[in-house]
Every structure is written in structure tokens, then in C-alpha cells.
A and B are shown apart, each in its own frame.
Chain A
Amino acid sequence: MTTPSSRDLLVVENLDKAFTLHLHGGARLAVIANASFAVARGECVVLGGASGVGKSSILKMVFGNYGADRGAIRLAAGGGFLDIAKASPREIVDARRRIMGYVSQFLRVIPRVSAIDIVASAARDAGFEAAAAQARAASLLARLNLPERLWSLPPATFSGGEQQRVNIARGFAGEHDLLILDEPTASLDAANREAVVDLIREQRAKGAGFLAIFHDEDVRTLVADRVIDVSSFSHREAA
């Protein structure tokens, strides 16, 4: 085990993950073996490898949605490191509020809430005052080219691309130290992909780190400092 340095934002060591499917005769599905990598402050690390190789599983373990069978996920927190693999639910809830954000492939929200409130509420959760949260939400939605007439409407009736821009705005709203992106640009056109690239670069310049999956070759080339081939950690490739 290496000691994380002050430049490290995230240090993942010897991570294993398997699923036991009790409804299918207890079949064991090994997904990740011995994954080790780090993300420094201001760095954008992209996970690469074919579909089904376990990229999303790694993101979900880092965010705490999946448990880890073995290994450590050290997240820089308040001068020290919090091991997400062993952290209590309360510690993870707190880390998600203050330190790490997540942008999934699809927007999942309560049906009735307006787009701007979804984004502003994410900013408030991360500690912004109400007025500042509202301003940040408006600025993000504008940068992502969401027409202003949509801001006060709930996103349920928006197009896939519009919903995804609300989702991205929500992810960036909290100005977290670490942002986890799971194919955020898949449903966007070129102009909006560019807006996302700008946002990533801007946050990176402020010292934020990114752990991301991008299938889009252009975006990847524009933002990735490093690409890690997840198939080298994958059980399925080795089997």
C-alpha cells in the first residue's frame, strides 16, 4: 500500500467486486479484480475498455452505490482520507454532500420539480446559500444552452438531450472536489458536448478532479489526462 499524497484526490487500491445472484442459483459474477489507480487534483481520468468490462461498476463503488468486496477507495476529505469501501452510511452521505458528485446517464428526479429547482437544490445541498444556489443553477443552465422558457418546467416532458443537460447542470452545481461522470455526453449534440468540455476544463483548472466514462472519442481526446484500460482489471477478460 502506498501512502496517498496531498495531490491525490482519490486513490483506489486492489479493488475486487463480484455479484452473487441469489435468484439465479447463487451464480457468482466476478466483475473487477485488483483495480488500482489514482486521480490527482485537477486531473481528468477516463476509464476505457469495452462495454460490460466493469467501468460503471468502478464508478458506483467510488460513489458508494456498490459495495467493494476487497480493497480501498481513499477519498481526500478534510485533510485526511476517507475509505469509501469501509465508510459508514453517514460518512458517505456527508462526502456526497461536500466532496463528490455524480452524473449518471439518465436524469432521475421527482416528477413535479422544475429544472432550475433541481439544479439549485443540488447546489444548496453542497452548501450554497439559497440565492447563490439559484444564481449558479441559472448560470449552468444557460451555459448548457437550455432555453430559459424551460427552466421553470419539470423535465419529464423534455427531450433526452435537454433532460441530460439538466442532469449535468445538477452534477456541476455543487462544485465538488471530485466529479464522477458516467457517459454524460452520450445524448448531446456537438455544441452541447463542447459546453460540457468547457465546464470540465474550467473546474479542472480550479483543482477539481474527474473520474469519467466517455464513449465519445472527441470528448475523450479533449478532456482526458489519462485513459485507464479497465479490461486489465476485468475478471471476464481473464476468465
Chain B
Amino acid sequence: MSAPLLTARNLSKRFGAVQACGEISFELVEGEALAIVGESGSGKTTLLHLIAGLMQPDGGEVSYRLRDGFSRDLATLTESERRALIRTDWGFVHQDAARGLRMNVSAGGNIGERLMALGDRHYGNIRAAALQWLARVEIAADRIDDAPSTYSGGMRQRLQIARNLVTRPRLVFMDEPTGGLDVSVQAGLLDLLRGLIADMGLAVVLVTHDLSVARLLSNRILVMKQGEVIESGLTDRVLDDPQAPYTQLLVSSVLAA
């Protein structure tokens, strides 16, 4: 198997007296989907922000294999290298789509912006790509000139996904991507995400408190509690045969639908 795409080593972060992440290490290979689960305050979002470079760790490092094949410690990237990575090879799907979109720019503009950041200046190409991606995330073509502020929650989330994937990233971070949406909308979005992950061979780091979302979208799972990874492994093994007392509590607390 090829070298890992992303490697986290001994990542630590404190907020005052609180250990948000303690010495966390893991690897992610291309095309692998990793879920980070735990209750509110377990440190899962902090861990995601540390890996995605949105927050500086107190200790430890994250390295990423760039498209040139060389793995680099993210802390050593120049600002322009870091920006290029975030704009092209990475995506970030926020729970609140308003954080990942420009709410008053048209849908076409939201998708096109990432392509323009890559240097594409041809209006026709950009619009064609935007239309193609709107279709792929099941947004009607005649909504291309509308701003996402006029969209429903589920449509905004699908637009955010299109905006992220238009540059064909290899790694996408997702923070509760279906959180806050109606159950009927969640199902459609999960189906869409699962299809895109498989078709594009995306690597994913997914933060969720919803174990069924983790089961549907991920191959591997990290269970966090109070800033520590207390159990990890194959997603359905951890969910079907949990070993740690806390994981057993989490799994048994879910109401079967």
C-alpha cells in the first residue's frame, strides 16, 4: 500500500485547564473514510480543526502528502502553499453551510470561485463546470444565478459540497455534515455523500455524534472521550462489538429506528 496521505502524530491541544486533545496519532490513506465520534466536548471538533490546519496544536504534527508525492509537515508550509492546499486538494464541509459559502454570491459564483482560485479565467468553462456540479448534487440548473441565502438548508449543504468538490480534492473534512437538517433531507444527503466518496475515491475525515452517519460513511472510526481516543478500528466492528465501557454506553444509548 502506498504511503499515507495524512499522518497525525501526538497531536495535543489544551484550553486552559482542559485537555481538548491529548497525544492523538493516526494515519489516513487515499480513499479511506475515517469517522471521529464522541459526545459534545469530547474533543472531536478540536481534533478536526488541528488536522485541517484551522487551529495550531500545542504539540505534535500533521503531515500531508502533496500532489507532487512528497509528504510535508503542515507547519512548514508557506502561506501560499497552505492556501493552495486548502483551495484545491482539500475540501471542508461545515455543519453550518453559511460558514462554507458566500451567502450573497450566486450558486454559480460559489462553485466557480474555487476554479478561479486555480487560475481558470474562462467564463464559459467555469459556468459549464458549475452547471455540471449543480446537476451532480441535484440542484436545478435554473437556480444557478440565485444566491444560497434563498436556498433551503438541504440545498445549501449540497451547494457547499459542490463548491468543495469542483476542484477534485483528494481529502475532504466534514463537520457534522447532516446535523441540523430534517431527517428526510439527511437521508438524501447521506446517499449523495456516499456516492461521491465512492466515485471520486475521496479520503474523508468526518466528525459526527451520529453513529448511524459514521456507519454509513466511514470505514474506520475513532471514539473520543475527554480529549482521548479510547477506542478505534473498523467502523462496524467498533459499533457491533464495542470493547470500552464508554463505547458500549454510546452504542447502547442509540434508539433503534
> Using a CB–CB distance below 8 Å, which chain A residues touch chain B?
19-23, 60, 64-67, 89-90, 92-93, 110-113, 121, 124-125
Contact = CB atoms under 8 A, between A and B. Distances in A.
Contacts of A90: 1, 29, 32, 219-220
Contacts of B241: 19, 60, 65-67
A137 to B, nearest CB: 15
* B contacts with A: majority SS: helix
A8 B207 CA distance: 41
Interface size class of B (residues with CB under 8 A): 20 to 34
Given A89-B233, A110-B191, A23 B240 contact: no
Interface in B223-247: 233-237, 240-241, 243-245
Contact of A110 (B187, B233, B245, B249): B187
Given A67-B241, A67-B243, A89 B219 contact: yes
Contacts of B141: none
B191 A66 contact: no
B37 to A, nearest CB: 15
B31 to A, nearest CB: 10
B248 interface: yes
A64 to B, nearest CB: 6
A113 B216 CA distance: 13
B41 interface: no
B236 A65 contact: yes
Contacts of A111: 187
Contact of B191 (A60, A64, A112, A125): A112
Nearest to A89: B234
The 5 closest A-B pairs by CB, nearest first: A22-B245, A89-B234, A111-B187, A66-B241, A65-B240
Nearest to A67: B241
Interface of B: 1, 29, 32, 187-188, 190-191, 194, 198, 216, 219-220, 233-237, 240-241, 243-245, 248-249, 252
Nearest to B234: A89
A67 B237 contact: yes
Contacts of A23: 245, 248-249, 252
A112 B187 contact: yes
Nearest to A66: B241
Given A64-B236, A89-B233, A93-B219, 10 more contacts: A20-B243, A23-B245, A60-B241, A67-B241, A89-B234, A89-B235, A90-B219, A93-B234, A110-B187, A125-B198
Nearest to A20: B243
B234 A92 contact: yes
B252 A64 contact: no
A65 B234 CA distance: 8
Contact of A113 (B191, B198, B233, B244): B191
B188 A112 contact: yes
